[in-house]
Chains A and B, each alone.
Chain A
């Protein structure tokens, strides 16, 4: 498959130049505050990458999905993250020290690179491919039986959509009409696409529609489109209108390959804020300094602790 620099068939609210095409979609969204969170998620990812954890999977370029999932999920909703969604935990209120202990494998289940907390509604991610999707379906089923008006969201990459577990979960969610939202990060590969990419057609959202599932496919570099789609999916699920899937087409920006700047959700939003005259280099410096300070303090603690322990 020829690599395509631009996603096809996606909803766009914030165009590559940062112009807001659909002002209504951004209603209720504090874009400047969101920008800070995206930058924090990016810096966290870059800092985690430096730990050199085995089997580490970076998530730079996917921040819009991770951050908005965390922000839009209610305190009693459950999240079943995949391996690239660690930033969910601090966004949902996990203390940074605890977060780093878990990432290092020094607490909780002792598996480096995995984070979970029952009190924050963040489920442990099993290692079996796609199994968390079906666990999430069970959690959602319990929410439905309780009539709680809560929902469960599970995150996945498009690679998992070839597994039986994905298809079985779609069948389960549809037949029992579960308040389950699957959020699929489909990677737009700059090069070296894996075998499954493009094999089944390029739209996971279209595929699940064939099973009768509600879905939306948005540009993952566009925070406003991601916000609108996830917000609607969560509300539908909580209102008992059934399961859904949001597909966000993302581009990994941590690869060696050249990635156009507008494929980066942070740069896209920065362009918008700049147009609106609410972004300055000083604003950027202040955010980065603040986040870096917090990260270094927490990582410093945790690593010193780990050294002392070993």
Chain B
């Protein structure tokens, strides 16, 4: 099955496990463009909590916030992360709720949205607005970096029991169409949601990779002939600063992510390294990113960093 089908099963489970949860989206009652509500709609006991809503980019997010303020646990399924830009004002308010309600109210909303290239559609469906979303104060923003962790990540993101902030879970399109056996899917993350994860050990250099770039970074590390560490950074907000700094000790650092370079999430990461890892640094910190776009459907792969570009950056920092 592909990752989306596996996620649809978890969405249905989440609704079953907690009656406070409701699923919201424009087309959720017909399974949704991503099929994420298909399993839920097949269970007649869940149908009443699958709430089809009109195309209301801003009010829709505020509506979910209002439901959460009233004690519900809304899960909002969007067709694209760029829909969050259309509803930016409401997303900003969602991040503010806890602070402006003097602790009296909170808004445990989970928003799930695909991001970046992968469907071959180009345009908004290849755009990576991850950094713009992560810049909003008061939100937890997580981007999936490993298809095998998809279901475990969704489960962790839907858990607000410890008072977690309203959460945006970004699913790179290039990961969610992958075919996996059920056995390949991890049951749990084995770490806190958003914690940086070393996916390849190495001492010559470190590549920090966000979301879909993790696979490219891994391939680049394999190909470059050097002993390179790869760290997958899934928590954009908050950044797992300690986890990132602990992996920065090689002193030769590369950051890779989808989408354009200017004001992308890599800028924040590199600034953190300049602030707190300066004594480790033996080379400039390089960013390898996609192109900002807009992308055509055929050319949308340019929205991702290439393996070759990451290999080149690794050699540059390693031989600096």
Give residues in A with beta carbon < 8 Å to B.
78, 107-109, 111, 116-119, 123-124, 126, 128, 131, 133-143, 145, 164-165, 168-169, 171-172, 175-176
**Which among A136, A138, A164, A165 has the highest number of chain B CB atoms within 10 Å?**
A138
Q: Which residues of B are found within 8 Å of A134, using beta-carbon distances?
A: 56, 58-63, 65-66, 90
- Taking a contact as CB atoms under 8 Å apart, the answer to whether B100 and A126 are in contact is yes
Q: Which residues of A are found within 8 Å of B54, using beta-carbon distances?
A: 168, 171-172, 175
- Taking a contact as CB atoms under 8 Å apart, the answer to whether B90 and A142 are in contact is no
- Taking a contact as CB atoms under 8 Å apart, the answer to whether A138 and B101 are in contact is no
Known: A109-B100, A172-B60. 18 other contacts (CB 8 A): A109-B102, A124-B100, A124-B101, A124-B105, A128-B89, A128-B93, A134-B59, A134-B60, A138-B70, A138-B74, A139-B67, A139-B70, A141-B63, A142-B67, A145-B48, A165-B58, A172-B54, A172-B56
- Taking a contact as CB atoms under 8 Å apart, the answer to whether A141 and B90 are in contact is no
- Taking a contact as CB atoms under 8 Å apart, the answer to whether B93 and A142 are in contact is no
With both chains docked as a complex, state the minimum distance between the C-beta of B49 and any C-beta of chain A, in angstroms: 8
Q: Which residues of B are found within 8 Å of A117, using beta-carbon distances?
A: 104
Closest B residue, CB atoms, query A142: B70
**Is residue B197 contacting chain A, with contact meaning CB distance below 8 A?**
no
Q: Which residues of A are found within 8 Å of B57, using beta-carbon distances?
A: 168
Q: Which residues of A are found within 8 Å of B126, using beta-carbon distances?
A: none
With both chains docked as a complex, state the minimum distance between the C-beta of B182 and any C-beta of chain A, in angstroms: 33
**Is residue B280 contacting chain A, with contact meaning CB distance below 8 A?**
no
Q: Which residues of B are found within 8 Å of A143, using beta-carbon distances?
A: 70
9 nearest interchain CB pairs?
A138-B66, A142-B70, A168-B59, A134-B62, A134-B59, A168-B56, A135-B66, A109-B100, A118-B104
Could you tell me the distance between the alpha carbons of A171 and B54 in the complex, rounded to whole angstroms?
Answer: 7
With both chains docked as a complex, state the minimum distance between the C-beta of B98 and any C-beta of chain A, in angstroms: 10
Q: Which residues of B are found within 8 Å of A175, using beta-carbon distances?
A: 52-54
**Is residue B261 contacting chain A, with contact meaning CB distance below 8 A?**
no
- Taking a contact as CB atoms under 8 Å apart, the answer to whether A118 and B62 are in contact is no
**When A128-B92, A134-B59 are in contact, do A141 and B51 touch as well, CB less than 8 Å?**
yes
Q: Which of B58, B60, B89, B101 contacts A118 (CB 8 A)?
A: B101
Q: Which of B63, B69, B105 contacts A172 (CB 8 A)?
A: B63
- Taking a contact as CB atoms under 8 Å apart, the answer to whether A172 and B53 are in contact is yes
- Taking a contact as CB atoms under 8 Å apart, the answer to whether B100 and A137 are in contact is no
Q: Which of B48, B56, B92 contacts A171 (CB 8 A)?
A: B56
With both chains docked as a complex, state the minimum distance between the C-beta of B63 and any C-beta of chain A, in angstroms: 4
**Is residue B230 contacting chain A, with contact meaning CB distance below 8 A?**
no
**Is residue B72 contacting chain A, with contact meaning CB distance below 8 A?**
yes
- Taking a contact as CB atoms under 8 Å apart, the answer to whether B59 and A141 are in contact is no
Could you tell me the distance between the alpha carbons of A164 and B93 in the complex, rounded to whole angstroms?
Answer: 16
**Is residue B22 contacting chain A, with contact meaning CB distance below 8 A?**
yes
Residues 82-117 of chain B, each 1 if its beta carbon lies under 8 Å from chain A, else 0: 000000011011001001111011000000000000
- Taking a contact as CB atoms under 8 Å apart, the answer to whether A123 and B69 are in contact is yes
- Taking a contact as CB atoms under 8 Å apart, the answer to whether A141 and B67 are in contact is yes
**Is residue B71 contacting chain A, with contact meaning CB distance below 8 A?**
yes
- Taking a contact as CB atoms under 8 Å apart, the answer to whether B59 and A145 are in contact is no
Q: Which of B52, B59, B74 contacts A169 (CB 8 A)?
A: B59
- Classify the secondary structure of A's interface with B: helix
With both chains docked as a complex, state the minimum distance between the C-beta of A184 and any C-beta of chain B, in angstroms: 16
Could you tell me the distance between the alpha carbons of A265 and B274 in the complex, rounded to whole angstroms?
Answer: 64
Could you tell me the distance between the alpha carbons of A124 and B96 in the complex, rounded to whole angstroms?
Answer: 11
- Taking a contact as CB atoms under 8 Å apart, the answer to whether B72 and A142 are in contact is yes
**When A145-B22, A172-B54 are in contact, do A137 and B101 touch as well, CB less than 8 Å?**
no
- Taking a contact as CB atoms under 8 Å apart, the answer to whether B70 and A168 are in contact is no
**When A143-B70, A145-B72, A164-B58 are in contact, do A138 and B96 touch as well, CB less than 8 Å?**
no
Could you tell me the distance between the alpha carbons of A89 and B191 in the complex, rounded to whole angstroms?
Answer: 45
**When A134-B56, A168-B58 are in contact, do A141 and B100 touch as well, CB less than 8 Å?**
no
**When A165-B58, A172-B53 are in contact, do A135 and B65 touch as well, CB less than 8 Å?**
yes
- Taking a contact as CB atoms under 8 Å apart, the answer to whether A139 and B66 are in contact is yes
Closest A residue, CB atoms, query B71: A142
Interface positions of B from 211 to 243, Cβ below 8 Å from A: none
Closest A residue, CB atoms, query B66: A138
With both chains docked as a complex, state the minimum distance between the C-beta of B157 and any C-beta of chain A, in angstroms: 20
- Taking a contact as CB atoms under 8 Å apart, the answer to whether B51 and A137 are in contact is no
Residues 39-58 of chain B, each 1 if its beta carbon lies under 8 Å from chain A, else 0: 00000000011011110111
**Is residue B68 contacting chain A, with contact meaning CB distance below 8 A?**
yes
With both chains docked as a complex, state the minimum distance between the C-beta of B9 and any C-beta of chain A, in angstroms: 24
Could you tell me the distance between the alpha carbons of A116 and B103 in the complex, rounded to whole angstroms?
Answer: 12
With both chains docked as a complex, state the minimum distance between the C-beta of B67 and any C-beta of chain A, in angstroms: 4
**Is residue B248 contacting chain A, with contact meaning CB distance below 8 A?**
no
- Taking a contact as CB atoms under 8 Å apart, the answer to whether B100 and A131 are in contact is no
**Is residue B10 contacting chain A, with contact meaning CB distance below 8 A?**
no
Residues 144-184 of chain B, each 1 if its beta carbon lies under 8 Å from chain A, else 0: 00000000000000000000000000000000000000000
Q: Report 13 cross-chain contacts, Cβ distance below 8 Å, ordered by A residue.
A: A107-B102, A108-B102, A126-B100, A133-B62, A134-B63, A138-B64, A138-B69, A141-B66, A164-B58, A168-B56, A168-B59, A172-B53, A176-B53
Q: Which residues of A are found within 8 Å of B52, using beta-carbon distances?
A: 175
With both chains docked as a complex, state the minimum distance between the C-beta of B110 and any C-beta of chain A, in angstroms: 14
Closest A residue, CB atoms, query B86: A164
- Taking a contact as CB atoms under 8 Å apart, the answer to whether A116 and B101 are in contact is yes
Q: Which residues of A are found within 8 Å of B56, using beta-carbon distances?
A: 134, 168-169, 171-172
Q: Which residues of B are found within 8 Å of A124, using beta-carbon distances?
A: 100-101, 105
With both chains docked as a complex, state the minimum distance between the C-beta of A79 and any C-beta of chain B, in angstroms: 13
With both chains docked as a complex, state the minimum distance between the C-beta of B141 and any C-beta of chain A, in angstroms: 20
With both chains docked as a complex, state the minimum distance between the C-beta of A270 and any C-beta of chain B, in angstroms: 39
Could you tell me the distance between the alpha carbons of A135 and B65 in the complex, rounded to whole angstroms?
Answer: 6
